[in-house]
Amino acid sequence: MGTIQRLGQWAIGTSERLGRGYLFLMAILAGIPGSLFRFSLVIQQIYSVGVLSVLLILISGLFVGMVLGLQGYNTLVDFGAEESLGVMVSLSLVRELGPVVSALLFAGRAGSALTAEIGLMKSTEQLSGMEMMAVDPIRRVITPRFLAGFISLPFLAAIFSAVGILGGYLVGYGLLGVDDGAFWTQMQTKTDWYDDILNGVIKSIVFGFVVTWIALFEGHDAIPTSEGVGRATTRTVVHSAFAILGLDFVLTALMFGDV
């Protein structure tokens, strides 16, 4: 009996949270037009969410590209096809690794910070204080952060892919001696602007939307104690990772499934 009760409790709790998350998202979306008139708030948030993540993205992108170059070369050289290294590096970065890895890093770097910030605002009753002063905390605090995350991630993913390709080129051309021209020309013939690069950008837009939504909701919905905020931060990272990887499969199946 106890087990069934716990199962029911869990089911009701989960549905309630999903419903709250949905209502929260609607409130955010309703606040977007107002935020566009006070864009300086959004810029402030792009700084803390996007600009401060650039260094992390640059370094990890470079290393991911370099590793792809090394590993790809070892596989391709067996078939005498090491000229295709450029294609391999560019397609895997632009289609998959760029959007996914930068979204995962973004969830860890910026998402967790957003949750902690909002959760702490809630636990120190800053959000209720704003409401007391007739300032809508959703419009003043949440929506600018949402827009900032939504805008930043596609740029971060593009930077990641570009730096990764340069890293692959550094290793391929500088270290392993793959032909310079073949690297770029094969890459250019096989990578398509619409099918590959724009689809990657669409992926990163979707991830940016979902990750910031999860992060802000977890913060807003956190139990206002130090333990609750800590848990919410953990949940942000875990749930974002699930959402990113699951959505990535769905998007990939939609975009490249029928090729």
- If the CB atoms of residues 181 and 257 are measured against other proteins, the closer one turns out to be 181
CB of 215 to other proteins, least distance (A): 19
* Sign of the four-CA dihedral 234, 238, 239, 240: positive
Taking the least distance from each CB to other proteins, the nearer of 155 and 213 is 155
- Give, in order, the Cα–Cα distances in Å from 109 to each of 102, 104, 135, 230: 10, 9, 29, 15
CB 248 within 8 A of CB 99: yes
CA–CA separation, 238 vs 240, rounded Å?
5
Measured from the CB of residue 246, what is the shortest distance to other proteins in angstroms?
26
Rounded CA-CA distance 158/122 in Å is 34
For residues 197 and 217, what is the distance between their CA atoms, to the nearest angstrom? 30
Looking at the Cβ atoms of 126 and 185, the one nearer to other proteins is: 185
Cβ-contact 147, 191 below 8 angstroms: no
Q: For residue 205, how far is the Cα from the chain centroid?
A: 8
Identify which of residues 50 and 69 has a Cβ nearer to other proteins in the complex: 50
In the complex, least distance from residue 142 CB atom to other proteins, rounded to whole angstroms? 19
Question: Is the distance from CB of 185 to CB of 83 less than 8 angstroms?
Answer: no
User: Residue 220 CB, nearest distance to other proteins (Å)?
Assistant: 25
Q: Please, which residue, 137 or 154, has the CB nearer to other proteins?
A: 154
Q: How far is the CB of 193 from other proteins (least distance, A)?
A: 4
**Residue 91 CB, nearest distance to other proteins (Å)?**
10
Q: Smallest distance, Å, CB 192 to other proteins?
A: 6
Closer to other proteins by Cβ: residue 43 or 120:
43
Q: Which residues of this protein are in contact with other proteins, per CB under 8 A?
A: 40, 43-44, 46-47, 50-51, 54, 79-81, 83, 90, 94, 152, 154-156, 158-159, 161-163, 165, 181, 184-189, 191-193, 196-197, 201
Q: Which is nearer to other proteins, 65 or 219 (CB)?
A: 65
Burial 90-120 (b: 16+ CB within 10 A, else e): bbbbbbbbbbbbbbbbbbbbbbbbbbbbbbe
**CA dist., res. 177 & res. 77, Å (int):** 12
- Give the H or E element holding residue 208: helix 199-221
